[in-house]
Amino acid sequence: MEEKLSIVKPSTISDTVFETLHKWIVSGKLKPGEKLPSQDKLAEQLGVSRNTLREAINKLTVMGLLTTKQGVGTIVNISGPVNYLTAISDHILLDRATVREFIEARLLVEEAAVRLTIARTSEDNIKEISRLVDSQVEALKTKDIEAFIELDSEFHRELARQSGNRVILKFLEAVRELLQKFISEVSALPGAIESAIEFHRQIVECIRLRDERCAREKIREHLYDVTKRIEKNMDIDLDVNSLFEIK
C-alpha cells in the first residue's frame, strides 16, 4: 500500500481495527489482490498490538475478504462477498443482538418448515431427506468436514423445499453463506458433527411418523444445542435459555 495508513488510537479494540480494515477493503483503499503490509508494520501503523491486529484479520478471513498464505502474507481476495448476507455478516458475527435475532428467525422458520413438511411431503421425499443424513454419516467416516458442512446446510434447505413454502425456501437460500459460516465454526468443536447427525436422524423419524410435536421439539433441541456451541465458541452471552424459552 503506497498511502500511509491512518493511525488508530492504542486503546482501540480489535472490533474497531476490524471495522477500519473492512472499510478500506469495501472502499477500495485496499484493492483486490493487494498484499497487506507485514503484521509488525501494520500493527505499528495502527498503533495496536499484533494480537489485536491478528484477531481482526482472522475475522476478515472468516468472511472471505482476506486470505493468508504461508510465505506470502495476507492478501485481499479478488472475489468479494457473493451476496448481501455475506456483505453484512461482519455485523452479524460481531454483534450479540444480531446473532441472537438471526437464530430467533431461523428457529421460527425451521419450526414452520417441519410442520408444513409433515403435512405436505410424500414418503419418497422423506427417503430423500434420510439419504442426506446417510451421506452426512459417510462424510463423518471419511473426515470430510467440507462435505458435511454442505450436507448439513442442504438438509435444512431440503426440509424447506418439502414444506412447499417458497418464502421459507428463499429465506434459507438467502442466508446460506451465513448459515454455512456458523456450521463451519461449530463443526470444528468436539462432538458437534455427531450431535448434529443424531438430531437430524431424530427429526427425520418424527417426520416419518407424521408427528408434528415431536419434529418441532427436535428442531428446537437441535438449534438449542448448536446455539450453545456458537455461544461458547464466539465467547458471547446469547442468553440461550431465554431465547428458547427454557426456565
- Distance of alpha carbon 4 from alpha carbon 58, whole angstroms: 22
CB 30 within 8 A of CB 69: no
- Distance of alpha carbon 74 from alpha carbon 170, whole angstroms: 35
Measure Cα distances from 89 to 65, 152, 169, 226 in Å: 11, 20, 20, 18
For the whole model, what pTM was predicted?
Answer: 0.64
- What domains does the chain contain, in order, with CATH numbers? 14-79 (1.10.10.10), 85-243 (1.20.120.530)
Tens-level pLDDT at each residue, the chain (247 residues):
544 444 444 344 688 888 889 888 877 788 888 999 999 999 998 989 999 998 889 888 877 788 888 788 899 987 544 433 444 444 555 455 577 888 899 999 999 999 999 999 999 999 999 999 999 999 999 999 999 999 999 999 999 999 999 999 988 887 777 788 788 888 888 999 999 999 999 999 999 999 999 999 999 999 999 999 988 877 778 888 888 886 5
